[in-house]
Structure formats: C-alpha cells, structure tokens
Amino acid sequence: MQLSWQPLPLQLIHPFRIAHGTSSVRHNVLVRVDDGLGEAAAVHYHGETPERIVEYLRGVDLSEYSDPAQLEDIVSGLPVGSAAARAGIDIALYDAWGRALGQPLYRLFGLNPQRIPLTSFTIPLGSAEEMAERARTTDAPMLKIKLGSEAEDRARIAALRSVTSVPLRVDANGGWTLAGAEALLPELAEHGVELVEQPLPVGDLEGLRRLFQLRSRPPLFADESIKSAADILAHQGLVEGVVIKLAKCGGIRAALEQITLAHSLGLEVMLGCMIESSVAVTAAAHLAALCQYVDLDGPLLIRNDPFQGVAYERGRLRLSTRPGLGLLPAPSTPE
C-alpha cells in the first residue's frame, strides 16, 4: 500500500481564542493510503506540530502491505511517535478498508447511526458580550462554552444563560486554579451546566480528587489529561468521563479500544475533535454511536473544508451510506 500526504491548511471562520492562545488558520495534514483519506491535526497541548507530523509520515513505509483488511498488523506495526500522524494513517486505512468492502464504516463496526447523540457547538472564549452574541445567533441545540480565565467566567456564563436556554457544557481547557474551580463549579451546577471539561491543568490529579468530592458540581470530564489507556486508568474515581479524540489517541482503532476501556471502568465518553476538516470528523462520527456525548463540530468552524462528509441538521449528525468514510469533494462555492 502506498502512503502519501499534502498540507491541509484550514481557515477558521472566527479566529479562535482558547486558554492556550489564538489562531486563524490550522495547518493540518491530509493523508492518503491508496484510495483512502485520512487527516492529521497537530495536538499542540501534547507537543505536536505539523512539522513533527510530516517527519513521522516520512518514516513510515507501508509497501509491505497489500490488504487494508490487515488493520491490526498495519496499525500495531506503526512506529511509536506522533499520535496525530498515526491517526492520519489509521483513518486513511479504515477508509480504504471500507471502500474495499463496499461498506460504510459504521456498518463494519456494527453500529446504528441513529444512536449518535446530538453534538454541541463551540462558543470560543471572548468577552461576555461577544459570547452571548454568538450564542444568540446560532440555532445549535447544545452549546459548548470555552471558559478559563476565572475573573470573567462568572459574567460569561450569566450572559450566556440570559440569552439561551439550551444545554450548556463548559470547557475550561485546564485554565482554572483549584480555588477558582472550587468556587465556580457549584455556581455552574446552579446554572444547570451539563458537564465541565478539564477544569485543572494536566497532571493535577490531587486537585481533581478535591473537586470530585464537592457536594454540588456538574460532572467532570478529563480531556487534555487523556492520551493513553494508562491516562484513562489513572482517572478512575476522579472524573465522571473522559474526552477521546482520534488525534490524541492515534486513530480509530485506538479510539475503539479506549472507549471500551473507559466503559469497562464505568466512565462515560465524550467523543471530541480538533479543528479538523470533514475527513477526521467524519471518521469520528462513524464511532459516535458508541459514546454518551459528542462534540464534533470541527467542520462547522472552518470556511474551506475540501470535503463533504458527515452532515449536520441542528446538532444531529447524518452519515451517508457510501463506503468507507463516505467522503465526497466539497461542492464548489462562490468565494
């Protein structure tokens, strides 16, 4: 099988401010394995860069393989290193496999796409007024609010609650202190916040243990802290759930394993994405019926998605019955 790749620069509809910084373009990598398509998105908070992804891809040789159905051999034989690059290869392989078998991936996983939970839509970090304005102008049935600078978070959530009654999730991206989180979480519970992602910085398990014992708080989910199966094991008893993303764990095969592990431990799973085109997000959507929560709005945040994959109907994900990922080239639109 033949591996190739090319740059996939994604232009953001709104420049994106999160606890880690700001950006208006993301430099993903489009990966091909024969006729299969994959995508690698740099997970900056795990030290990934587009350069590192390309360097990893340069070191991979799939020419000894000729059958995409040898998924286990191929994926487990990939060198250690960039999880994002491995995800790109893994997604392309699964697409090639589904195309070869003439089946959409969800059918090859035995899943019912009608069971996919509604996805949330992300409101990026901004002033309380900006965020409320953004919430007012979307018809999304469920919002994910980026917080993380404690001083203003109280005003932000109040402003949002004043303009919308849809379910709200909060993502602090590790931006709170323990004391700040202890003060905020009970208030978020009063506002009916559905869950809170990554309240504390990666590695603060002791802080998480303290938050977990708060009497009144929304369910807690670990995101940036979760990369490997070992990370999931380490979060037993400290969170209600974990956020699994293909780019963090290394692709579809690893995600299926991590979902199984989390569920075996009694943890819920939110399936998330990076800023990614329809390639990677459609791959995740094929697994989404296994998960309790879905946060797969990547393609809604970019203006130059080169593909058409999972479709959105007010938060409801629709997968086509085409083989593999089921991607088509994006219809050309007047610029």
Residue ranges that bind a second copy, judged by CB under 8 A: 69-73, 75, 97, 101, 103, 107-112, 115, 229, 232-233, 253, 256-257, 260-261, 263-265, 289-290
Please report how close the Cβ of residue 296 comes to a second copy at its closest, in angstroms.
19
Closest CA to 95 of 41, 28, 35, 7: 35
Q: Which residues of 67-94 are buried (b: 16+ CB within 10 A; e: fewer)?
A: ebeebeebbeebeeebbbbbbbbbbbbb
Closest CA to 124 of 277, 13, 237, 266: 13
Please report how close the Cβ of residue 255 comes to a second copy at its closest, in angstroms.
11
Closest CA to 206 of 237, 248, 240: 237
Closest CA to 40 of 273, 202, 232: 273
* Residue number with CB closer to a second copy (73 or 190): 73
Please report how close the Cβ of residue 323 comes to a second copy at its closest, in angstroms.
11
**Pairing of the two strands 293-295 and 268-272:** parallel
Strand segments, DSSP code E, in 203-240 are 220-222
Residue 80: left (phi > 0), alpha (psi -120 to 50), or beta? beta
Please report how close the Cβ of residue 230 comes to a second copy at its closest, in angstroms.
8
Please report how close the Cβ of residue 140 comes to a second copy at its closest, in angstroms.
27
* Residue number with CB closer to a second copy (163 or 230): 230
* Residue number with CB closer to a second copy (157 or 222): 222
Contact 253, 90 (CB under 8 A): yes
* Residue number with CB closer to a second copy (97 or 121): 97
Please report how close the Cβ of residue 69 comes to a second copy at its closest, in angstroms.
4
d(CA 79, CA 75): 9
Please report how close the Cβ of residue 314 comes to a second copy at its closest, in angstroms.
24
Closest CA to 280 of 317, 258, 251: 251
* Residue number with CB closer to a second copy (61 or 73): 73
Residue 257: left (phi > 0), alpha (psi -120 to 50), or beta? alpha
* Residue number with CB closer to a second copy (130 or 231): 231
* Residue number with CB closer to a second copy (132 or 259): 259
